[in-house]
Amino acid sequence: MGGMTIEGARLRPLSEAGRDAARVLEIVAGGYAGFAPVVGEGEAVLAWCRALLGSSAFACNERWVRFVAASDAAGRSAFGTVENALWDLVGRKLGVPLYELLGGALRQRVAIAAPVRIAAEESVEAVVAQAKRLVDGHGFRTLALFDGGTAGQRTASVLAALRVAFGPAMGLRLHLPAGSVRPARDAALTALGLEFVECAGDDASEEREAWAGDPPLAGGRGLAAGPLIAEMCRRGVVQVLVAEPGSAGGVPGIARLGALARAFQLELALACAGGSRWELALAVQLAATQPMAEQAVLCPDAAALSDVEDGMLTLSGAPGIGVDLAPGLGDAAPEDTAS
Amino acid sequence: MSAIARITLRRIELKLRMVYVSSMYVMDSVRRTVIEIETEDGIVGIGETLGTDEVFVLAGRLAAGMIGQSPLARLKLRNGFARSVFDNRNGRTGWSAFAGLDLACWDIAGKTHGMSLAELLGGGGKRRIEVVCPLPALIVDRLVRRRELGAMFRDHRNIDRLVAYALAQRRRHGFRCFKYKSAAADVEWDVAAMRALREALGRDAQLRFDPNAGYGPARATALCARLEPLDLEFYEDPTDDIEGLAKLRARMTRPVATNMCVIQLDHLAPAIRRGAIDVVLADIFMWGGVQNYREMAAVAESCGLKVAVHSLFESGIGTAANLHLASGLPQIARANDSGHHVIADDILSPSLPDVADGHLPLPVGAGLGIALDPASLARLTVGEPVIVTA
């Protein structure tokens, strides 16, 4: 298919706060525009766009090869952002939702996890009340507990209280920030029946091997499919792959993680880095096409989950990622444009 | 997208321009299943797969379950067919049956979106694909019984005919890559044949050695050790099973490839953990279609394995599919196996071009970029077509 040459790109602000606020990448090819939330540094996204000017919007494998050759954290996010916008663009051009480009949806409704946060000053009862409001309002069946760095006895108390409050059918997960201490693996922790514990930033840690067991360990967030993820799979030190579409190499990166998950029989948990509607819609569509993505999609911002009903989001049939720019958005600054 | 309204399955027999002698076959023709899937709005997708009795029957049964479903819902069709290893697979037969139907669905997707299969896979920039020249274990002029081969293998003067055949193919088609099919009947013959081929074809030629897992691990290891100085491209299925390949690979410096022992996604993890192979020589008709193939390539890429396209003798449909895989998937960097120049007849109009300079061009157009020739198809069809409708 000809005539789909990448012609230009710009970073548009999602609010009046301009360059300091969340931005969306708008990329143009063949008279169509595609959009994706900017993950990571805007400058890196624009630099990658400039490198792609004049190339085909469809040639994602050629881009992947170039990306793999020069991959770091900033590069991964820039690559993922641009890929997501290009896949949105292709969907719009062909008039089909992203999931149809990927082979069709395996499920029309996708489970969403409710984010529950432990603030330093919050009591156990207050955390349970926070979770109850979310469950009562939207029917969530999975609670994702974000520990603010206090992992230990207090976290275990919160998890135990949530289990008592919501019963054995409620999915419970624990997300620990980088550098925090894992809770002791003991009978009490195992008895809580957690879906998994994610310990950010320790994917290369040798402790993982020793900790493997119940509850399962999740990892891989922010990584793209490659030697490190492959080694984690090979050694069996991860039971759940956490996949962020922005930082894992975008749509083609998630496809590769999905393949690894199938080959090594791991679960795949789609997650959003931020709380934009684009990220959530994208993660939901990707989860709908991945056989191993039966875990609820994680969005860290409860405010973005207003459309969740019965703990699920229903796929839209809109083209591409399925989210349009709100009218009246500001234009991009000249320095945020590649053409 | 409109639903699948009609599926037609035919078995065709294609004559070969040679008698193909390997450890598994002595044959001068091949049977294939040709599949046409027609949607309610008249788009026809073309697919192909193996033509064994078992695959043909199972493909017809699977086709019945696809009527009324969207051909674009390929993941759902795959999931419905083989949700777990327990379902439908029947070894490789089930995936082979599914592969032909899946390929036709991809052809429909390409025709629907105006994109080639290679473009649907995210590539398509590579317009010429290098292909491999298959060499039989022995040159014979007629079909012979396997027991007659023994005496021929003991007479090493017959190697001259094999070498002459390879040189003639190179002169005619420009091949730079050759695959010798061992009959796994005589180690001394195999070593002598490979040495003669290397000497005649020169150090620039890529040489593959493929006894179809016909040797046990000890004999295969000893044999491959003698082939090490020949600097082969790889040893293809030198022995059987992931465990056997792993033991052999530990002793070799040249790569080990398989198209027999790692043919499903669930074979990859044990093969990777065991360090059994370097190259997944993957056959789309064993791997269960395009999506499985693409996922295999993604896993291989992450885990440091190389990917190459395997082929037996397909019609132009299968050859076109393999060319699209090689153009569409960046993980494929080696020459495609291909029997295209050995097939005496074809069912496409226009036919695919002949191999030139060791390459075949990527077909141009939506989907597979090919069209069937009804007259040739009718002439080559064996038995009655199976037509599945609502």
pLDDT along chain B (390 residues), means of 10: 95 97 94 98 98 96 96 94 76 93 98 96 94 97 92 94 98 98 96 98 98 97 98 98 97 98 95 98 97 97 97 96 97 96 96 97 98 98 96
B contacts of A61 (beta carbons < 8 Å): 121-123, 328-330
CB-based contact, A263 to chain B, within 8 Å: yes
Strand partners, B132: B337
The pair of three-digit structure tokens given for residue A291, joined into one six-digit string: 């056989």
CB-based contact, B250 to chain A, within 8 Å: no
> Count of A–B CB contacts within 8 Å?
98
CB-based contact, B125 to chain A, within 8 Å: yes
Helix (H, G, I), strand (E, B), or coil: what is residue B219? helix
Question: If residue B266 lies in a helix (H) or strand (E), which one and from where to where?
Answer: helix B265-274
The pair of three-digit structure tokens given for residue B291, joined into one six-digit string: 């999506």
Residue B273: closest CA among chain A residues belongs to which residue?
A: A234
* Cα–Cα distance for residue pair A75/B26, rounded to 1 Å: 53
| Chain B: closest CA distance from residue A271 (Å) | 21
| Chain B: closest CA distance from residue A321 (Å) | 17
A contacts of B116 (beta carbons < 8 Å): 1
CB-based contact, A55 to chain B, within 8 Å: no
Could A256 and B301 be called an inter-chain contact, meaning their C-beta atoms sit closer than 8 Å?
A: yes
Could A106 and B72 be called an inter-chain contact, meaning their C-beta atoms sit closer than 8 Å?
A: no
pLDDT band at A184 (very low <50, low <70, confident <90, very high): confident
Q: How far does CA A272 lie from the centroid of its chain?
A: 3
A contacts of B269 (beta carbons < 8 Å): 233-234, 263-265
For residues B59, B64, B67 and B71, what is the CA-based torsion angle, rounded to 10 degrees? -20
Helix (H, G, I), strand (E, B), or coil: what is residue A201? coil
**pLDDT for res A177:** 82
Residue B119: closest CA among chain A residues belongs to which residue?
A: A58
**pLDDT for res B89:** 76
Residue A223: closest CA among chain B residues belongs to which residue?
A: B302
Could A61 and B123 be called an inter-chain contact, meaning their C-beta atoms sit closer than 8 Å?
A: yes
Strand-pair category, B306-309 with B44-50: unpaired
**pLDDT for res A270:** 97
CB-based contact, A19 to chain B, within 8 Å: no
CB-based contact, A255 to chain B, within 8 Å: yes
CB-based contact, B60 to chain A, within 8 Å: no
| Chain B: closest CA distance from residue A67 (Å) | 12
Could B266 and A289 be called an inter-chain contact, meaning their C-beta atoms sit closer than 8 Å?
A: no
Strand partners, A219: A241
| Chain A: closest CA distance from residue B330 (Å) | 6
- Identify each DSSP E strand in chain B by its residue range: 4-21, 26-39, 44-50, 128-135, 177-181, 206-210, 234-236, 256-258, 279-282, 306-309, 336-337, 359-361, 381-389
Could A105 and B302 be called an inter-chain contact, meaning their C-beta atoms sit closer than 8 Å?
A: no
Could A1 and B114 be called an inter-chain contact, meaning their C-beta atoms sit closer than 8 Å?
A: yes
Question: Is the pLDDT at A201 greater than 90, yes or no?
Answer: no
What tens digit of pLDDT does each residue of A295-328 get?
A: 999 998 888 899 999 999 999 999 999 998 877 7
A contacts of B298 (beta carbons < 8 Å): 225, 255-256, 259-260
- Where is average pLDDT lowest: A55-64, A256-265, B232-241, B266-275? A55-64
* Cα–Cα distance for residue pair B99/A115, rounded to 1 Å: 42
* Side-chain half-sphere CA neighbours of A121 within 13 A: 0
Residue A87: closest CA among chain B residues belongs to which residue?
A: B122
Helix (H, G, I), strand (E, B), or coil: what is residue B100? helix
**pLDDT for res B15:** 97
The pair of three-digit structure tokens given for residue B354, joined into one six-digit string: 């002949």
| Chain B: closest CA distance from residue A137 (Å) | 32
Question: Is the pLDDT at A19 greater than 70, yes or no?
Answer: no
Whether A27 and A86 have beta carbons less than 8 Å apart is answered as yes
| Chain A: closest CA distance from residue B77 (Å) | 9
**pLDDT for res A183:** 73
| Chain B: closest CA distance from residue A264 (Å) | 6
Question: Is the pLDDT at A18 greater than 70, yes or no?
Answer: no
What single DSSP character describes residue A323? -
Residue B121: closest CA among chain A residues belongs to which residue?
A: A61
A contacts of B124 (beta carbons < 8 Å): 58-59
Helix (H, G, I), strand (E, B), or coil: what is residue B245? helix
**pLDDT for res A188:** 82
**pLDDT for res A40:** 83
Name residue, tokens 């009862």: A125
Q: What ipTM is given for this predicted complex?
A: 0.93
* Side-chain half-sphere CA neighbours of B122 within 13 A: 22
Residue A66: closest CA among chain B residues belongs to which residue?
A: B330
CB-based contact, B80 to chain A, within 8 Å: no
| Chain B: closest CA distance from residue A337 (Å) | 26
CB-based contact, B272 to chain A, within 8 Å: yes
**pLDDT for res A205:** 72
B contacts of A265 (beta carbons < 8 Å): 266, 269
**pLDDT for res A151:** 62
For the purposes of burial, counting CB atoms within 10 Å of the CB of B311, is it exposed (0-12), middle (13-18) or buried (19 or more)? buried
Name the residue among B209, B211, B284 with its Cα closest to residue B32: B284
- Identify each DSSP E strand in chain A by its residue range: 6-13, 23-29, 32-37, 109-118, 142-147, 171-176, 196-199, 217-219, 240-243, 267-270, 297-298, 312-314, 337-338
CB-based contact, B127 to chain A, within 8 Å: no
pLDDT band at A3 (very low <50, low <70, confident <90, very high): low
Going from the C-alpha of A36 to that of each of A47, A65, A241, A302, B273, the distances in angstroms are 16, 21, 23, 20, 37
